[in-house]
Amino acid sequence: MQQLLRVQNFCVSMDGFGAGEHQSLERPFGHADPGDLVSWAGATASWPGRTDAGGTRGLDDYFTRDFTHNIGAEIMGRNKFGPQRGPWQDHEWRGWWGDEPPFHTPVFVMTHHTRPSFTLSDTTFHFVDGEPADVLEQAREAARGKDVRLGGGATTIREFLDADLVDTMHVAVSQVRLGSGVRLWKSPDELLDRFHQEVVPSPSGVTHHLFWRR
Amino acid sequence: MQQLLRVQNFCVSMDGFGAGEHQSLERPFGHADPGDLVSWAGATASWPGRTDAGGTRGLDDYFTRDFTHNIGAEIMGRNKFGPQRGPWQDHEWRGWWGDEPPFHTPVFVMTHHTRPSFTLSDTTFHFVDGEPADVLEQAREAARGKDVRLGGGATTIREFLDADLVDTMHVAVSQVRLGSGVRLWKSPDELLDRFHQEVVPSPSGVTHHLFWRR
């Protein structure tokens, strides 16, 4: 069985930004309002953060409930883990994801500043310095035959796209413009030489872009 | 965690039939060409019957790869198991599903003519006579906390809809007319008093109808 590298539920603005500028501890998405980008997912029954029995079970729910399906590891950029830059000043603060991170697998955080691995609930964070292909090899081994999720942010996804390592990608485009920030693409058409694409408008207002290798 | 009763990937014609007339051993869908109804699913990477590494990974693939997700048992009508009617004449023939059935869970076949359970690979078929609510109770217990798939055919789904036992339903409507056969609905609008609905056209030509309880 082929082990895929999959981008899932990555949210961008109409103008192609995955986050705004000036990320900080208080504002993980910088000047962007995260609700504008991710509220479609939060409304679904299968949203990992949901604590009640409600939520929609239409098209958008297929995307949120696919989040864990056959995923054995995640790769993320350092800015998805936290706002610190450069050498780690504070090992006590253990990321934006709380005591029960939604990953439930090994997570490989890409950084030039490594630090010891640690485990929160059933998620273990590893901090790795290396080229995308090297990190992917480590993640594949940790995934034990399952697929690897490429969790973002936009800069990290770009690095793996540029290295031609991404197999499938689901990007949810919201009806908001950010004007500036961390860019995934100028246009999804950039990918059409290498990927099949389907564009699926959801009744919720978000548009799902699905890519898989040609 | 709520245990849902879910209809998944049930295929009907534009005029609402899940199969044609005159079902037989050679023609499980009667006068209907099954390719007209199910080819959208067969084209996807996650189709359970796929034996090569190809297939599409767009919208339709989300539906086929959800087939096993959190499913712990299936309920099906006798006509989905085989073409025999009345008392069993032939216990040797063990259904249309081959030595490796795609269910991988207990399967409850509804029939007034019970027979001993048997196992093929990791699928065990049980033959049960009872009202929909009773059969669902057995299937829920066998599913050990997971959801139960209501596999069809159309007559069986109607029985569970009429008993108000269905929680979610995905029906794929193909662009073919059958004129007659086993009917699921005259119009999906019949369900709107009890269910939310989303209608999602797929680039493949099939239209996905998604229902969940109000």
Q: Would you say A95 and A81 are in contact if contact means Cβ atoms under 8 Å apart?
A: yes
pTM: 0.94
**Burial status of residue A143 (CB atoms within 10 A of its CB: 0-12, 13-18, 19 or more):** buried
Domain ranges of chain A: 5-83+101-213
Helices (DSSP H) in A66-175: which residue ranges? 78-81, 132-143, 154-162
pLDDT > 70: percent of chain B: 100
A59: nearest CB among B45, B56, B210: B210
pLDDT > 90: percent of chain B: 92
Interface contact flag, B196 A58, Cβ < 8 Å: yes
Interface contact flag, A66 B62, Cβ < 8 Å: yes
Superfamily of domain B5-18+32-47+55-82+100-207: Dihydrofolate Reductase, subunit A (3.40.430.10)
Interface contact flag, A212 B62, Cβ < 8 Å: no
Whole-Å CA distances, B8 to A32, A47, B69, B74: 37, 20, 11, 11
Q: Does domain A5-83+101-213 have CATH number 3.40.50.10860?
A: no
B200: nearest CB among A56, A59, A210: A59
Across the A/B interface, how many CB contacts are shorter than 8 Å? 52
B198: nearest CB among A59, A69, A212: A59
Q: How far is the C-alpha of B95 from the C-alpha of A13, rounded, in Å?
A: 51
Tens-level pLDDT at each residue, chain A (214 residues):
689 999 999 999 999 999 999 999 899 999 999 999 999 999 999 998 898 889 999 999 999 999 999 999 999 999 999 999 999 988 899 999 999 999 999 999 999 999 999 999 999 999 999 999 999 999 999 999 999 999 999 999 999 999 999 999 999 999 999 999 999 999 999 999 999 999 999 999 999 999 999 9
Average pLDDT over residues B136-158: 98
Interface contact flag, B57 A208, Cβ < 8 Å: no
Q: B131: distance to nearest CA of chain A, Å?
A: 27
Encoded amino acid at B207, one letter: T
pLDDT at B1: 64
Interhelix angle B132-142/B154-162, nearest 10 degrees: 100
For residue range B46-87, list pLDDT tens digits in order.
998 898 889 999 999 999 999 999 999 999 999 999 999 999
Tell which of A65, A67, A210 to mutate to test the B interface (max B CBs under 10 Å).
A210
B203: nearest CB among A58, A63, A198: A198
**Rg (alpha carbons) of chain A, rounded to whole number:** 16
Interface contact flag, A2 B53, Cβ < 8 Å: yes
Least confident stretch, A149-158, B12-21, B88-97, B153-162:
B88-97
Interface contact flag, B210 A2, Cβ < 8 Å: no
Q: Would you say A29 and A19 are in contact if contact means Cβ atoms under 8 Å apart?
A: yes
